[in-house]
Structure 1
Amino acid sequence: MNLVNGLPAHVLLVHVVVVLIPLTALALVTAALWPRAARRLGPLLPLLALVALISVPLTTHAGEWLERHVDDDALVRRHTELGDGLLPWAFGLFVLAGAVWWAARRAAAESGQSGGRRWSALPVRIVVGVASLAVAVGAVVDVYRIGDSGAKAAWHDAYTKTATDSKDGS
């Protein structure tokens, strides 16, 4: 899928990534640090992370097609290089979302059986929480860097700093 209604698909798909990666990161950190939120989110958390993960290669594939159809430019090459680095972050979000979901299910099942919390799971929750925070921050920063480089590539010479007179006088 390279064109959608005559427009480059990358221009449209990029919005999916820009929304879903930070949203997944926020949901992951919230669920990892707040077990009640993890139970409430349930399978929605790994499902959201899966959709975000799938959207990354679709967007980069469409971006590579677009790169071959625009003038060769250092800013475009830089944007492409940065974009290729997002997939590992999205995969990390997916893996951790699955781990948080699984741990929340397991904790709920164990608390129902024993009538209380297992404090032995606290070190695991701390490790998963720290890992989730690190991957979430990395993913969001990477999305920002990629988006910033894409905006610079698209708009670096497409406008003037002073307003131009339009034909209708407005």
Structure 2
Amino acid sequence: MGPVLVNDIPAHILFVHVVVVLVPLTALALVLCAIWPSVMSRFGLALPALALVALISVPLTTHAGEWLERHVDSNALVRKHTELGDELLPWVIALFLAAAAVWWFYRRAARRSPDAAGATSGTVATPTRVAAAALSLVVGVGAGVQVYRIGDSGAKAAWHDGYSATAHPDRG
């Protein structure tokens, strides 16, 4: 499905940075675009494009992570990280679908009339905009929380026995 090694380094370690940056960034952009049409007018097609890149990065990272899991010692922390990682894809699919819907509804409203899209005022809260904002907030927060949980469990799995709170005497 994708590379598992990059310059003899497990690709998961590199790919995870894309997910950690893009998923919360997409979630934030989605919420802002859903709440303020003036922000959506600036983002345009970049919103669903950003969500698509985030969506593509998740299975690539997961695939590389599953390869890495087979090449490290198995323990409860690694298994927990793997389980949590498997739960991110549905959130990012929802993030992509919400971003595409917000973009599509904005485009449809903008075609009808520039003021209907709220490009200048943005003060009219239609039921569709309220629903889109609420859904975007739920999906965005859910995806962000899941990324945090996965990252926290991954850090614990990677560093649980290779870190000391006190410096080694010979290293100052």
Aligned: 1:154 with 2:153: no
> Matched residues in 1 for 2:165 and 2:117: separation?
61
> Matched residues in 2 for 1:11 and 1:108: separation?
42
How far does residue 159 in structure 1 lie from its aligned partner after superposition? 1.5
**Counterpart AA for 2:143:** A
The alignment-based identity, stated in percent, is: 65
How far does residue 118 in structure 1 lie from its aligned partner after superposition? 8.3
**Counterpart AA for 2:148:** Y
Q: Which of residues 85, 93, 96 in structure 2 aligns to 1:94?
A: 96
In structure 1, the residue corresponding to 2:78 is in which secondary structure?
A: helix
How far does residue 121 in structure 1 lie from its aligned partner after superposition? 8.0
**Counterpart AA for 2:135:** A
Q: Which of residues 116, 127, 145 in structure 2 aligns to 1:141?
A: 145
Give the alignment's TM-score, normalised by structure 2.
0.91
> Matched residues in 2 for 1:33 and 1:118: separation?
12
User: How many pairs does the alignment contain?
Assistant: 165
How far does residue 161 in structure 1 lie from its aligned partner after superposition? 2.2
Q: Which has the larger radius of gyration?
A: 1
In structure 2, the residue corresponding to 1:81 is in which secondary structure?
A: helix
Give the alignment's TM-score, normalised by structure 1.
0.93
Which stretches in structure 1 are left out of the alignment for 5+ residues?
none
1:28–1:45 Cα contact (<8 Å) kept: yes
User: 150-159 vs 102-111, which deviates more?
Assistant: 102-111
User: Deviating runs (4+, > 4 A) in structure 1?
Assistant: 118-121
Q: Which residue of 2 aligns with 1:106?
A: 108
Q: Which of residues 163, 168, 171 in structure 2 aligns to 1:164?
A: 168
User: 152-161 vs 121-130, which deviates more?
Assistant: 121-130
> Matched residues in 2 for 1:81 and 1:111: separation?
47
Alignment of 1:8-157 (within 5 A): 8-112=10-114, 116-117=115-116, 122-157=126-161
In structure 2, the residue corresponding to 1:163 is in which secondary structure?
A: coil
Give the superposed CA RMSD: 1.7
In structure 2, the residue corresponding to 1:146 is in which secondary structure?
A: helix
> Matched residues in 2 for 1:118 and 1:9: separation?
42
